[in-house]
Each structure stands twice: as structure tokens, then as C-alpha cells.
Amino acid sequence: MAMLSRLASRSSHLGRTLLLPRSLCCSTGGRHFASSAGDEGPTFTVETSVPFVGHRCEPPSREVETTAKELMGFFRDMSLMRRMEIAADALYKAKLIRGFCHLYDGQEAVAVGMEAAITRKDAIITAYRDHCIFLSRGGNLVETFAELMGRRAGCSNGKGGSMHFYKKEGGFFGGHGIVGAQVPLGCGLAFAQKYLREETVTFAMYGDGAANQGQLFEALNISALWDLPAILICENNHYGMGTAEWRAAKSPAYYKRGDYVPGLKVDGMDAFAVKQACKFAKEHALKNGPIILEMDTYRYHGHSMSDPGSTYRTRDEISNVRQERDPIERVRKLILLHDLVSAAELKDIEKEIRKEVDNAIAEAKESPLPDPSELFTDIFVKGCGTEVYGVERKENKILI
Amino acid sequence: MLGLMRRVSISGSIPTSMLQQSLQRILPGLAILERGYSTLGKEMTVREALNSALDEEMSADPKVFLMGEEVGEYQGAYKITKGLLEKYGPERVLDTPITEAGFTGIGVGAAYYGLRPVVEFMTFNFSMQAIDHIINSAAKMNYMSAGNISVPIVFRGPNGAAAGVSSQHSQCYGAWYAHVPGLKVLSPYSSEDARGLLKAAIRDPDPVVFLENEILYGQSFPISDEVLDSSFCLPIGKAKIEREGKDVTITAFSKMVGYALQAAEVLSKEGISAEVINLRSLRPLDRAAINASVRKTTRLVTVEEGFPQHGIGAEICASVVEESFEYLDAPVERIAGADVPMPYAANLERLAVPQVDNIVNAVKRACFRSVPVAAAA
């Protein structure tokens, strides 16, 4: 009970970041954690839904240690992510978000499980389905919604949009629009970590669609040759846009596609399986170089907001996954099973989250569009005092 | 001429006689240059200039590292990185597999994290395999991230035509890269350019495309003590007036600067004083210097080796017409490579790239002097 009231009082802060498990260091969101072990609540062991399957490696145990705090944290964080993405859907339909909007709901366990296993000094890079990863790396709701709506308060000052969220200080390197490009970039981050002897790792995330990209294999070859601490996370949601995995890949066993690089197949809807696998992978990568983790996951939305998501898969399939494998429901059942809080209290948390998201959207809506002068900023870090032209060259020219 | 041959064959891999023939086709008046330099004291080849620049910048900043095919144990495909593996070790001089998309992406990722990679393309023709990373991952990143992630990377290597390497190995990429906001694009001519611009590029916090020229690698230039100093640096975005003149402005970059200078020499004997501008920087382009020169001379001839359509000369002509229209006394002239894929046969290759005569003819046209009828090929 005491724990719940502590959790409730923290959540009233607007633009808050996620409630992170104690295993993490230095949150950038102004959230502080109780220092005594007692505040973690009871420790217990959770069994993953299915065993891991290894390729060229001995898979880790199905038994995962956790604490009440971590479990509650998973519930809150995934619920927040879920609520944020659904709210983004509504904003897109209201034409406040333009262009592309790729939603992550269904895949939340990958984001929170990974974050639970690593620190902010480890690096994450992903493609365009990046809103929730941004949040887990220390981004806040206001800057997320503001960026989606192209406003000044956005994390990229409104100049990036949905696919271009970044937070270098939180170890988040984007946010990339070109399918597959983020994987060599991620191996480059790992190269730098090794060069600087930081004992940290990079998680380079990509989908089943990107898994067939040639540059992936080029980067993996170099990473294996040079023993880079690169962990490739294939978020296999089984559809590359509208193309099912069996239509795109001769071998959809993505965890095996690294050939000489070991791999692990993980239930990506189980936050604890994800956490265990990422912990295992980090230890592996620091000693032995690259490893591939295939997260078996699912997206409820279509590929993007312009895709209903039902022309290439049945509504039955979607509702079945929601029923049997939803990541938030799994954690809810665990919380109730271990009697941490009541079902009504969980509902209260969800209501708070809803309100928080609504408040963040309201605040983001207040933020204006960028000043027209921003058209010409940040082209270079260091300008040369030369001309940049607007559309009407004679009328619109500045020196940068 | 023979002294130059001896200097050029440092790499040892090209038989001297073949090299002599190639060079005579491509640099007919080179003897003029050589005579001019022999009395001026210290000299340095462009190759030595690039090598020393890399060496000094690697020494000054431990975050600088080199990556590319054959840059290490082979000592560099064109020996630009000679000796650097021995000096800095395999952690800082990395031989890559032949996978441009992969290693360029890795280089850009390393730059995101804060290292300062120098990625070599064996020639810029191969950069097309990695161009998504140069443009989308590197050039646009600082803007898209509103300054959160900068990309202090240099992409360097030989650009443009060599000798007899045919269409897939001869393209000039100046126009392509100079088209893109977020990139800085440099192209040195002399050894002073090579040292000063490469050092500036490596120190620069933005992505730089550094277009060298294989034929120039072996060419020797006089060099002052100031240029030899390890702190020497040239500003990015500033052109150099290689030769002052008053009748016509000739713009050029890289190897064509040498050709333009030879043309200026020929023209001076006919009473035409040509001002030769060595662009040095394709992006940003030094429009101020170009326009100031044209306002003085009232005539413009642009010279480039690459394909003509939508080329560097096209942008320069547009800039001059926009900014200095009233000053022009003649239509602008462009000299560029022929609008064809580069052929292999020696005579066709000669017709596909600008020669000194072509530049001389263009200047005469701009000066409304009569030009001899072009001889049959």
C-alpha cells in the first residue's frame, strides 16, 4: 500500500519519463529512486513463456529474477507506451500529425525488457518505429507529441518528425528512415565503444523486412571480424509492411541468419524473456563480439497510419495475439498472481496514465510551429559564412 | 618531362613507358610547369602532402582513424596512407573488406558516437555503393536531429578520369555531392591545397567529401614553410586566384586547374590575360570570389572534367548570370567532359575530356576572337 502511494505521487509530474528499474543508472528525467533495497519490494523468479532457442550458443535459463518494483515498472512503462501510441493514432486521424507515423503498440515488451538489462551508456539505434524506444531512453511525452506535430518543443525542434527522434545523451541514436541503414550505423557505434574502451554495447534494432538487406551482412561480417560489441535485435513482427515473412525470406529463421554469428530466438511479447536475452547478449558481446537476438513480436497497427493492417492478415490473427500474447496483459496477470496490488489499483494506474498523456498532448499543442528562420539552422555545425538560399533566391538568402 | 616521370613512378606499380605515354596524352604541356618550378626551393608531391596531412592529424587527435580497402598492409591502393599502419597500429588504420555500404555505414556510426573517421573510397565510383550513408545518414543528420547528432567524418579518395580505365572507373562526382545540403565538398589541386584542405576537413565537425585526383598524386608543387607547419590549414568555402588576369575569368578545380593555367600561358602570348580561379571548395561555392572576378573581367569560362549536364559549371554560370548580369560582355562558356560514358580507346578518351586547346578556344570565343576550325578526330 505504502509503495503504491509513493508511485501515485510521482506520476503527477507532467512530461515525466518512465519509472525505471533500479538496475539502471542516471535517468535524465528528474526521477529519483529510493536507495534502500527494501523499496524494491519482494524479489521473485519468473519463468519465461517459452524456452530460448540458441544458434551456435548455449541459451540462457528460462528463470528470470525480478522485483516487485521492476514488475510494476514494466506495467506502467508499457501502459504508458501503449497509451501514447493510441493517442498518436487519434492525433494522426485528426490531421495534427502529418506524413509518416509508424506505431509500436504490441511491441512494448522489447523496449522495456531491453532497457531493464542495460544502462544509458549502452547505445540503442533503431529505424522509424521509434517513439517508444525514445521514451525508454529518457525522452518525455511532451517532446514526443510536439515533435510528432512538428512543433518547436519537439525533441528535434519539429524538424525531424516521427522517424527522427534522437537523444545522444541518453544513448539513443535514432530514428532512421532508410530500411536497414541503421544496422551498419549501429555497428559503427559499437566500433566507437570498443575504440574508446568503454565496456559498453550497442543494440542495433531492425525488422524482419530489413533482415534481408545486404548492408546488414556486410556490417555483421566486419563486426565479427573486428569483434565489435554489437547486438543485432531483429524485431520480427512477421510482416515487412504488407509482405509476410515467408514471402520475403527464403529462411525466416532470422536468429540463424548470422551464420557464423550466434543467435537466440526470444519471445518478444514477454518482457522478462527480453530482459534475460539482452543481459545474456550484453555479456556475450563484450567478450565474443556480435550476436543476433530475434524477438518474436507483433504490431497491432498496420505498418503505418496509411495501412489498415488487415489486407494481408486476418482480424482473427490480430485479436488472437491480443488475447493470448499481449505483453501488458501478461505482466498484469503476474502482478495479480503475486498479489502486489489489486486489479482496481492497476486500473487506477491506467487512468492516471491516460490523464498524463492527455495533459502532455495539451501542452504539446500549445507549442508553436518553428520560427521560419529555423529553415536555415543546423545545416552545418560550423558554417563557412556562405550563402544558403530559400525558394526565391533573390528574395530569400542568408549567410550561415 | 623525365624528371617528372621519375617522381610519378614512386608507387612502382606502373611501368614508366606506359605512364609516359598516358601522361603525354593527358598533360601535353606539363614540361612548361616543371621548368617553372625547378628554381623555387622546397617541393612536395600531392601524395606526400596528403600523407603528411593524415599523419599530422592522426598524431594530434587520437579520435582520428582511417578506414578503407587496402589502406593498411597494402600501404594504400595509391600509397596515400603509406607508413600509417606501422606508425599508428591496426586499431587506427583499418583494412576493410570490399563492402562499401557496410564500412561506410560503420564509419558514419562511429562519427555519430564522436570519433573522427577518415573513410577512403578506392575511387569515388565505388562511393555509389555507399551513397545512402553519405547523403541520408551523414549529410542530413545534424539538421534532422536539430543539432543533437553531428557527423565529423571525411570521405576521401580519387575522383574523375584517370588514364584508360573506361566508363565505370572515370566519373566525376563533384556535381552529385555538391548538390546536397549538409555536405562540404572539397577538391584540391596543388600540394598546398591537399595539405591545407585535408587538415581542414579532418578538423571540421561536419561531413566532408574530399575529391582527390589520381593523376595529380605524383605531381610535384613548390611548397612554403608555412604550408609545411603542422598547424597549417586552409579555410573551407574559399577559392584561390591562381593567376591574376583582366580579360576573362576561368574557373576550374582539381586537375583542370593545371590545364587552365597552361591555357592562360598560351593565351597570354596572344595578348589575352586570363584570371584563373582554383575553386578548392565545390560546396560551399565561393560565389563572392567568382562574381568579383567576373565583374572585373566581364567574361567567364568554366572548366570541369565531369559530365556537362547539371554540372559545376552550370551552377557557376547561373550564379554569375543572377548576380553579375550587367557586367557580362559575352555569353558564359562551359568546358566540360563530353556527354558520353568514358570510352577506352586512346583517341576517343582524348576527345571525351577537356584539353588545353579546348579551354583556349572557349576563351577566344568569349573574347570574340576567331578560332581555328576544329580538326577531324
Q: How far is CA B116 from the centre of its chain?
A: 22
Q: In A, residues 377-396, which contact B (CB 8 Å cutoff)?
A: 377-382, 384-388, 393-394
CB-based contact A166 B145, cutoff 8 Å: yes
Half-sphere exposure of B218 (CA within 13 A, CB side): 24
**pLDDT score of B19:** 53
Measuring CA to CA, which residue among B291, B290, B293 is closest to residue B273?
B293
Count CB-CB contacts under 10 A for residue B340: 11
Query: Helices A327-337 & A108-117, crossing angle to 10 degrees?
Result: 60
Residues A142 and A95 reside in one and the same domain: yes
Residue A193 has pLDDT above 80, yes or no: yes
**pLDDT score of A382:** 98
**pLDDT score of B370:** 75
A91 inside 8 A of chain B by CB: no
Comparing alpha-carbon positions, the chain A residue that sits nearest to B180 is: A379
- For residue B205, cis peptide bond before it (omega within 30 degrees of 0): no
CB-based contact A387 B114, cutoff 8 Å: no
Residues A151 and A252 reside in one and the same domain: yes
User: Measured over all CA atoms, what is the biggest interatomic distance in chain A, rounded to whole angstroms?
Assistant: 71
3-state secondary structure B304-316: CCCCCCCCHHHHH
CB-based contact A199:A114 (threshold 8 Å): no
Segment A160-189, tens digit of pLDDT? 999 999 999 999 998 999 999 999 999 999
B15 inside 8 A of chain A by CB: no
Do the domain assignments include residue A21?
Answer: no
- In B, which residues are within 8 Å of A387 by CB distance? 284, 287
Cell reading at B176: 552529385
The burial class, CB within 10 Å (0-12 / 13-18 / 19+), for A51 is middle
CB-based contact A178 B137, cutoff 8 Å: yes
Which structural domains are found in chain B, ordered by start? 43-228 (3.40.50.970), 240-367 (3.40.50.920)
Mention every residue, 6+ apart, whose C-beta is less than 8 A from residue A180: A206, A210, A213, A215, A216
B36 inside 8 A of chain A by CB: no
Measuring CA to CA, which residue among B336, B256, B241 is closest to residue B294?
B241
B99 inside 8 A of chain A by CB: yes
Do the domain assignments include residue A388?
Answer: yes
Of the ranges A50-64, A121-135, A321-335, B5-19, which one carries the lowest mean pLDDT score?
Answer: B5-19
A215 inside 8 A of chain B by CB: yes
User: Measured between CA atoms, how close is A174 to chain B, in angstroms?
Assistant: 9
Confidence of residue B23 (pLDDT cuts 50, 70, 90): low
Q: Could you give the number of structural domains in chain A?
A: 2
Residues A294 and A147 reside in one and the same domain: yes
User: Measured between CA atoms, how close is B77 to chain A, in angstroms?
Assistant: 20
Mean pLDDT of chain A: 92
Q: In B, residues 148-167, which contact A (CB 8 Å cutoff)?
A: 148-150, 152
Alpha helices in A12-163 (DSSP H): 68-93, 108-117, 131-136, 141-148
Residue in A125, A160, A222 nearest the CB of B103: A222
CB-based contact B99 A218, cutoff 8 Å: yes
**pLDDT score of B369:** 79
CB-based contact A308:A318 (threshold 8 Å): no
- Residue A27 in 3-state DSSP? coil
Q: Quick one: average pLDDT of A290-295?
A: 98
- Residue A243 in 3-state DSSP? strand
Comparing alpha-carbon positions, the chain B residue that sits nearest to A228 is: B106
Q: In A, residues 216-245, which contact B (CB 8 Å cutoff)?
A: 217-219, 221-222, 225-226
Comparing alpha-carbon positions, the chain B residue that sits nearest to A167 is: B148
Interface test with B, best of A196, A203, A221, A381 (most B CBs within 10 A): A381
Residue A31 has pLDDT above 60, yes or no: no
Segment B236-258, tens digit of pLDDT? 999 999 999 999 999 999 999 99
Residue in B102, B133, B206 nearest the CB of A380: B206
Mean pLDDT of chain B: 92
User: Measured between CA atoms, how close is B35 to chain A, in angstroms?
Assistant: 37
- In A, which residues are within 8 Å of B206 by CB distance? 380-382
CB-based contact A231:A114 (threshold 8 Å): no
Q: In B, residues 333-352, which contact A (CB 8 Å cutoff)?
A: none
Interface test with B, best of A125, A147, A189, A394 (most B CBs within 10 A): A189
Cell reading at B167: 566508363
CB-based contact B96:A144 (threshold 8 Å): no
Segment A52-95, tens digit of pLDDT? 999 999 999 999 999 999 999 999 999 999 999 999 999 999 99
User: Measured between CA atoms, how close is A167 to chain B, in angstroms?
Assistant: 7
What is the DSSP secondary structure assignment for residue A210, as one 8-state letter? G
CB-based contact A192 B146, cutoff 8 Å: no
Under 8 Å CB pairs connecting chains A and B tally to 164
**pLDDT score of B33:** 46
**pLDDT score of B25:** 52
Q: In A, residues 109-138, which contact B (CB 8 Å cutoff)?
A: 123, 125
Residue A4 has pLDDT above 60, yes or no: no
**pLDDT score of A5:** 43
CB-based contact A184 B113, cutoff 8 Å: no
Do the domain assignments include residue A72?
Answer: yes
CB-based contact B237 A386, cutoff 8 Å: yes
Residues A377 and A341 reside in one and the same domain: no
Residue B32 has pLDDT above 50, yes or no: no
CB-based contact B177:B162 (threshold 8 Å): no
Q: Quick one: average pLDDT of A254-271?
A: 98
Do the domain assignments include residue A85?
Answer: yes
Interface test with B, best of A121, A384, A388 (most B CBs within 10 A): A384
* Burial state string for B44-53 with b = 16 or more CB within 10 A and e = fewer than 16: bbbbbbbbbb
Cell reading at A385: 559564412
Confidence of residue B377 (pLDDT cuts 50, 70, 90): low
**pLDDT score of B41:** 78
Do the domain assignments include residue A18?
Answer: no
**pLDDT score of B372:** 72
CA distances from B290 to B33, B213, B279, B319, B358 (A): 25, 23, 9, 9, 21
Residue B210 phi/psi, 5-degree rounding, is -115, 105
Do the domain assignments include residue A2?
Answer: no
Q: In B, residues 51-80, which contact A (CB 8 Å cutoff)?
A: 65
Residues A239 and A385 reside in one and the same domain: no
A184 inside 8 A of chain B by CB: yes
**pLDDT score of B374:** 62
Residue A220 phi/psi, 5-degree rounding, is -65, -40
Segment A205-250, tens digit of pLDDT? 999 999 999 999 999 999 999 999 999 999 999 999 999 999 999 9
Query: Helices B30-37 & B255-268, crossing angle to 10 degrees?
Result: 90
Residues A118 and A248 reside in one and the same domain: yes
The residue segments making up the domain with residue A223 are 43-369
- For residue A175, cis peptide bond before it (omega within 30 degrees of 0): yes
The residue type found at A177 is: G
CA distances from A360 to A6, A14, A74, A158, B179 (A): 22, 7, 21, 16, 40
DSSP β-ladder status, B248-252 and B300-303: parallel
The helix (H) or strand (E) run that includes residue A273 is: helix A271-288
CB-based contact B45:B191 (threshold 8 Å): yes
Interface test with B, best of A168, A172, A185, A379 (most B CBs within 10 A): A185
Residue B200 phi/psi, 5-degree rounding, is -60, -40
DSSP β-ladder status, B274-278 and B240-243: antiparallel
Q: Kindly list the catalytic residues of B.
A: 100, 169
Mention every residue, 6+ apart, whose C-beta is less than 8 A from residue A8: A348, A352
Q: Quick one: average pLDDT of A113-119?
A: 98
Segment B199-241, tens digit of pLDDT? 999 999 999 999 999 999 999 999 999 999 999 999 999 999 9
Count CB-CB contacts under 10 A for residue B94: 22
CA–CA gap between residue A9 and residue B206 (Å, rounded): 45
Residues A283 and A375 reside in one and the same domain: no
Long-range contacts of A17-21 (CB under 8 A, 24+ apart): A17/A135, A17/A138, A17/A139, A17/A140, A18/A73, A18/A76, A18/A77, A18/A80, A18/A112, A18/A115, A18/A135, A18/A136, A19/A72, A19/A73, A19/A76, A19/A77, A20/A73, A20/A77, A20/A115, A21/A67, A21/A69, A21/A70, A21/A73, A21/A116
Interface test with A, best of B104, B145, B206 (most A CBs within 10 A): B145
Residues A384 and A331 reside in one and the same domain: no
Comparing alpha-carbon positions, the chain A residue that sits nearest to B204 is: A382
CA distances from B127 to B102, B168, B280, B310 (A): 11, 12, 21, 20
- In B, which residues are within 8 Å of A195 by CB distance? 65, 91, 110, 115
Residues A184 and A249 reside in one and the same domain: yes
Mention every residue, 6+ apart, whose C-beta is less than 8 A from residue A201: A118, A122, A123, A190, A193, A229, A230, A231, A281, A282, A285, A286
Residue in A188, A378, A384 nearest the CB of B142: A378
Residues A386 and A357 reside in one and the same domain: no
What region does B18 belong to: left with phi over 0, alpha with psi -120 to 50, or beta? Answer: alpha
Residue A11 has pLDDT above 80, yes or no: no
Segment B99-118, tens digit of pLDDT? 999 999 999 999 999 999 99
The helix (H) or strand (E) run that includes residue A244 is: strand A243-244
Confidence of residue A39 (pLDDT cuts 50, 70, 90): confident
3-state secondary structure chain B: CHHHHHHHHHHCCCCHHHHHHHHHHHCCCHHHHHHHHCCCCCEEEHHHHHHHHHHHHHHHCCCEEEEECCCCCCCCCCCCCCCHHHHHCCCCEEECCCCHHHHHHHHHHHHHHCCEEEEECCCHHHHHHHHHHHHHHHHCHHHHCCCCCCCCCEEEEECCCCCCCCHHHCCCCHHHHHCCCCCEEECCCCHHHHHHHHHHHHHCCCCEEEEECCHHHHCEEECCHHHHCCCCCCCCCCCEEEECCCCEEEEECCHHHHHHHHHHHHHHCCCCCEEEEECCEEECCCHHHHHHHHHHHCCEEEECCCCCCCCHHHHHHHHHHHHHHHHCCCCCEEECCCCCCCCCCHHHHHHHCCCHHHHHHHHHHHCCCCCCCCCCC
End-to-end CA distance of chain A: 58
CB-based contact B105 A185, cutoff 8 Å: yes
Domain CATH number, residue A180: 3.40.50.970
Measuring CA to CA, which residue among A206, A150, A139 is closest to residue A179?
A206
Residues A79 and A180 reside in one and the same domain: yes
Measuring CA to CA, which residue among A260, A224, A223, A176 is closest to residue B106?
A223
**pLDDT score of A353:** 98
Residue in A187, A192, A393 nearest the CB of B114: A192
CA–CA gap between residue B4 and residue B37 (Å, rounded): 11
Do the domain assignments include residue A265?
Answer: yes
Residue B28 has pLDDT above 80, yes or no: no
Do the domain assignments include residue A219?
Answer: yes
Residues A227 and A342 reside in one and the same domain: yes
DSSP β-ladder status, A263-267 and A53-55: antiparallel
